[in-house]
Each structure stands twice: as C-alpha cells, then as structure tokens.
Amino acid sequence: MRRHAEQLDEVSDVTDGPVLSIEHLKVTFATDTGDVKAVDDVSLTVAPAEIVAIVGESGSGKTVTAKTILGLLPETAISSGAVLISGNNVISVTPRHLRQIRGQEVAMVFQEPSTALNPVFTVGWQIAEGLRAHGKVSKKAARARAIEALGKVGIPEPEKRVDYYPHQLSGGQKQRVVIAAALALNPGLIVADEPTTALDVTVQAEILELLRDCRDIFGTSIVLITHNMGVVADLADRVVVMYQGDVVEEADAITLFASPKQDYTRKLLAAVPHLGRNSASAGLTERAHQDSEVLVQARDLVIEYPGRLGTPAFRAVDSVNFSISAGEVFGLVGESGSGKTTIGRAIAGLNKTTGGSLKVLGYEMLNFRERSFRPLRKEIGFVFQDPAASFNPQLSIGECVAEPILIHEDRSPADVDKRVAELLEAVQLPKSYADRYPHELSGGQRQRASLARALALNPKLLIADEPTSALDVSVQAKVLELFKEIQAEFGFAALFISHDLAVVDILSHWVGVLYKGKMVEQGIGSEVMGRPQDDYTKRLIASLPVPDPAEQAKRREAHRALLLS
C-alpha cells in the first residue's frame, strides 16, 4: 500500500504532461445477442486546466469512455488499450491501486444528483467519505474540510448546510454537493457525465459557471460528457465528437462550431435547434387563427394535487388563463414543476381540475365524467414524451395505431388496415412497419408511429407533451420537421409542451411561459423569445446556452449582468 502511495506521489509531481491520455481504447460488452463493440479505437488527451467535451448521440460510446477513465465498467465489459492518468494505466492497475487513483487523481460528477447522493447520510458525511478513504482524518478535520468544500462550490452557510440531508437541498444545490465531493481531494481531473441534463436551464447556467470556476481557480481539468451542444459551446475548450464508438472529429471549440470538417459533425450541428432562428412565428404581428373556433378555453384554471394527511394540497396550476383556437399551435414552456404537463394532461382528461374553468371542445372539465367525455376523445390526439413506453410492447405497431379506430369507428378489418397504411405513410414510415413490434423500431420511428396513432381519427386538437425530449438531436430535428409539415397539412390545433425554448419556437405561433403554476407571459413566439417582458422569462431565455461559442460568451456576460441588476 505504501509503495503504491509513494509511486503515486512521485508520478503526480510531474505536472507538465497531460492529465489524462487515452490510447487506442476498445471496449466490448457481452450481451445475449453476442458481443457489442461500444468503443472502437479511441485516443484523446486532456491537458491540465483544460475542459474537453466528448459529444455524441446515444450509443456513440461517450459514457462508456467516461466510465473507463474511472474503471467503472461492469463485469460484462472487456477493455483494451491504455487509459493513462498521471502515468498510471487504469485498465491494468490492481484494484487497490485503482482505489488510490480514484478520488485523488480523478473524480466523477454524475448525471442525476438526487440518486448520486445517499439519502440517509448528511452531505457533510458524504463529502468526508472520500477524505476518509484516502488516509486517516479526524472527525473534526473531516468536517472542517467538508465545510470548506461546500464553501468552494458556493453553497450559502456551509457550516449549517454540512449537516443537511440530500432531500433538504434543491436539485442545483445537490449537484453542487456532488461537485464538492469530487473536489474534496483536489483531483487533477473531473469526469462530468451529463452534469446538467437533469437540471433546469436556469440552474444549468449556475452549474456551468461553477464548473468553469473549477478550472479557472483550482486548475482542474474536466472531461465533459454531454449531448447538449449549447453546454459544449458554453464550457468546452476542446471538443471530441464521437459516433458509433469512434472519434469522428477533434478540434478546439471555436473552430469546431465555426468550421466543422466532417459531414457527421456538420449534420449534428445543423440539427441543433438555435433560439431565434427558424421561428414559426417570425414576421407575425398579431395572433394567428384568432377568428376561428376556440377549442380550449381556460379561465382562472386551478389544479391541485391532494396533500397527505395534515399537509395542504399542492397547487400545481394557479389561476391560469389561455385559449387555443382551431388550427393554432400553442407552445407551453416552463421548467420542471411549472405545471405544464399537468395542464396538458388535464385537457386530455387524465388529471382532474379543481377550480376555475377549463372548457375543452365545449365540455366543462370541472364536472368531468369519463362516460360523458368519452365521445369527445376521438377529437383529441395525444403524443407522449417517451415513445418507447407509450406503446404496448405486446402489440404490433399496426395494432397500436389501429386501436383508436377500432374503439371509435365501425370499420371492416381490411378498411382498418388500409387506414393504418395511410397513416404510416403520412408520418413517412413504410407501411410494412405495421407488422413490427415497438422494440424493433428506433426512437424516432416510434415517435412517428406515435404521431400516426394520435392522428388516426383526424383530431381537432393534438396535445404533444415533450414529444422530442427523449430523442437525439438529429432525430429530433426530423421529427419536428415532420410535425410542422403534418400540422400544416391536416390543420389541427396543437398544444406543444416543452422545456426547450428553441424547440417550442420552431413550432409554435403563440407561446405561454409557465413558472411555478402561473402563466407569467404569453404572446407571439418570436416576440416572447426576442423581447421578453417578464423578469422570469428574461432570466430563462438568458440562461439558455446557444450552440455558438462566440455568441454564447456574449450571452453569458449579458446573463451575469441580468443577475446582478
């Protein structure tokens, strides 16, 4: 043990070389259907105080690469090549030596801060755990260092917060604690696997700021794994683009965004929605479709979830007013917990309203009865967030799409098949896909099929709840385009719910911004995005990173100024 420690000290004195260098890394997983190559010959280096972003779509091998750096791969994986951290090959060192490296040389920040922290220990204890694992520390000293670490990551009143349990902190604060634990031993390298994906945009901006400080103040190198090009543009010095286990392109951030060399990178960047470009409402001066029939009308709408015994009810939606006319696309934006999904579900009759008035196709939802509402259901289509979960895995795609037709219309089987084929064609799926099962389709194809099912009865109103947030950017771009085309062709009204401002802007004519259950602002999409009036909307838009490093640097300054004012 001591020999290893000495060896480590010796090696970590050498500071001029790269902190991390990966050479010809290959990772293969054993699965039921044979071996799967997750990473195929990846080489990259990270210099001291450098932030390197590994970007790629799902299945590109970016997370596997990150896990290899800490030796966190499951037993079913076999890796070859070399991952050198300060001269030690993580792949071939002994488990004991690996434990020495972890924490001291390299630490990890996880995607979901609420699951990365153990709920039954205080945050102080969890930060000190790393200290205890690397040498004897007295209780007092460990506590002092935990407080210091919490202070470093900008948690107010660290002396008090050190005794808090994870559930007493907000999501952003939890992620700060995770970063504090990673920083506790002052490692030269932090691996951050999608560190802001689970967080809201406004919180994301704060965490990105903190990660930048880690580099600037403590000289920590960061390997940033993400699929969000905005985050990359905001934070990264250098970018490595991965595709199907291979490095496609590697360049510094400004060059990569300005002049991508490879086709794949170009396609990927083109698919990223960019706030302010390609707006559906560009050029509009007044609300479209104002004189057509009003399909949904909410007046002082209140939706409460009953609290547990003794606790008051939770008000998810608080006196909200809006209307959706026939043919109009209404975009509803908000962060998690803003009540946007609750409103969408209430319109579809999946949630009960508790106050005010919500009229859907003339039906007052306050006195909702499934029996009397059922005939109206054929006028409403619903597209769910997760296309994988919204199909019955036991039924073929054709059967799933035919389901609404079978329930509401009396057609012959041949007629139903014909209609299903028509629908699949409308969403640009080959009609032979009717015989396939949901798991045999890709995410984008499933979401198309989901759209086909929602359109099966030619509804007047379509509710789409985050329909693209489970998809990769390039797939998202295609689905959004399809959605736009079909909406223009069929002319249905739509309620488009999303947390992503840029995505909402691409589709919606009229946008409403929700914050903590209240509608803080609504207006023409390009107006709201371009000249926000409400303070919250201003903050929301300013904190959204755009996929362009130069522009993002300017926006960052503006955001800082906004926060200070």
Partner 1 sequence: MSRKDGSLIQRLPVISHLRKSVGLQRGMLVTGLIISALFLLTAALAPLISPYGFAQHFDTQQPPSSAHLWGTTSGGYDVLSRVVWGTQTAVLVIVVAVILSIFLGVALGLVSGYIGGWLDRILVVIADAIYAFPTLLLAIVMSIAISQGRSSMLGGIMAAAISITVVFIPQYFRVIRAETIRLKAEPFVESAMVVGASSVRIMARHIYKNATRTLPLIFTLNASEAILTLAGLGFLGFGIEPSSAAEWGYDLNKALSDTTAGIWWTGVFPGAAIVLTVLGLTLVGESMNDLNDPRLRGRRRAGKTAPTATAGPTANSTPENEVTV
89-97, 153-161, 213-221, 234-242 -> range binding partner 1 (CB under 8 A): 89-97
- Is position 75 an interface residue for partner 1 (rule: CB under 8 A)? yes
Q: Which of 4, 5, 18, 26 binds partner 1 (CB under 8 A)?
A: 26
- Is position 10 an interface residue for partner 1 (rule: CB under 8 A)? no
Please provide the DSSP assignment of 442-466 as one string: -HHHHHHHHHHHHTTT--SEEEEES
Smaller CB separation from partner 1, 55 or 454: 454
The C-alpha R_g of the chain, in whole angstroms, comes to: 26
Smaller CB separation from partner 1, 322 or 382: 382
- Is position 71 an interface residue for partner 1 (rule: CB under 8 A)? yes
Burial class (CB in 10 A: 0-12, 13-18, 19+), 142: buried
Per-residue HEC secondary structure of 496-535 comes to EEECCHHHHHHHCCEEEEEECCEEEEEEEHHHHHHCCCCH
Q: Which of 257, 330, 382, 536 binds partner 1 (CB under 8 A)?
A: 382
- CB 109, min distance to partner 1, A: 20
- Is position 349 an interface residue for partner 1 (rule: CB under 8 A)? yes
- CB 404, min distance to partner 1, A: 4
- Is position 377 an interface residue for partner 1 (rule: CB under 8 A)? yes
- CB 411, min distance to partner 1, A: 15
Q: Which of 6, 9, 15, 76 binds partner 1 (CB under 8 A)?
A: 76
- Is position 352 an interface residue for partner 1 (rule: CB under 8 A)? no
Q: Which of 89, 186, 432, 533 binds partner 1 (CB under 8 A)?
A: 89
Q: Rounded to whole angstroms, how far apart are CA atoms 292 and 564?
A: 44
- CB 421, min distance to partner 1, A: 19
Q: Are strands 493-498 and 461-465 parallel, antiparallel or unpaired?
A: parallel
Binding mask 497-536 for partner 1 (x = CB under 8 A): ----------------------------------------
- Is position 88 an interface residue for partner 1 (rule: CB under 8 A)? yes
- Is position 389 an interface residue for partner 1 (rule: CB under 8 A)? yes
- Is position 372 an interface residue for partner 1 (rule: CB under 8 A)? no
Contact 184, 133 (CB under 8 A): no
Binding mask 452-481 for partner 1 (x = CB under 8 A): -x----------------------------
- Is position 243 an interface residue for partner 1 (rule: CB under 8 A)? no
Q: Rounded to whole angstroms, how far apart are CA atoms 558 and 565?
A: 11
Q: Which of 378, 516, 518, 538 binds partner 1 (CB under 8 A)?
A: 378
279-338: which residues touch partner 1 (CB under 8 A)?
Answer: none
- Is position 13 an interface residue for partner 1 (rule: CB under 8 A)? no
Helices (H) and strands (E) in the chain, counts: 22, 20
Question: Running DSSP on this structure, what letter comes out for residue 366?
Answer: G
Smaller CB separation from partner 1, 270 or 407: 407
**3-state secondary structure at position 250:** strand
Which single residue is written with the structure tokens 């929605």? 273
Contact 94, 87 (CB under 8 A): no
Q: Rounded to whole angstroms, how far apart are CA atoms 503 and 544?
A: 12
Residue 128's H or E segment, with its range, is helix 123-133
- Is position 394 an interface residue for partner 1 (rule: CB under 8 A)? yes
Burial class (CB in 10 A: 0-12, 13-18, 19+), 286: exposed
Among candidate residues 274, 236, 202, the one with its CA nearest the CA of residue 542: 202
- CB 551, min distance to partner 1, A: 37
Q: Rounded to whole angstroms, how far apart are CA atoms 195 and 66?
A: 12
- CB 32, min distance to partner 1, A: 6
Q: Are strands 314-325 and 294-305 parallel, antiparallel or unpaired?
A: antiparallel
Residues that bind partner 1 (CB under 8 A): 23-24, 26, 28-32, 35, 68, 71, 73, 75-82, 84, 87-89, 91-93, 348-350, 374-375, 377-378, 380, 382, 384-386, 389-395, 403-404, 407-408, 435, 450, 453
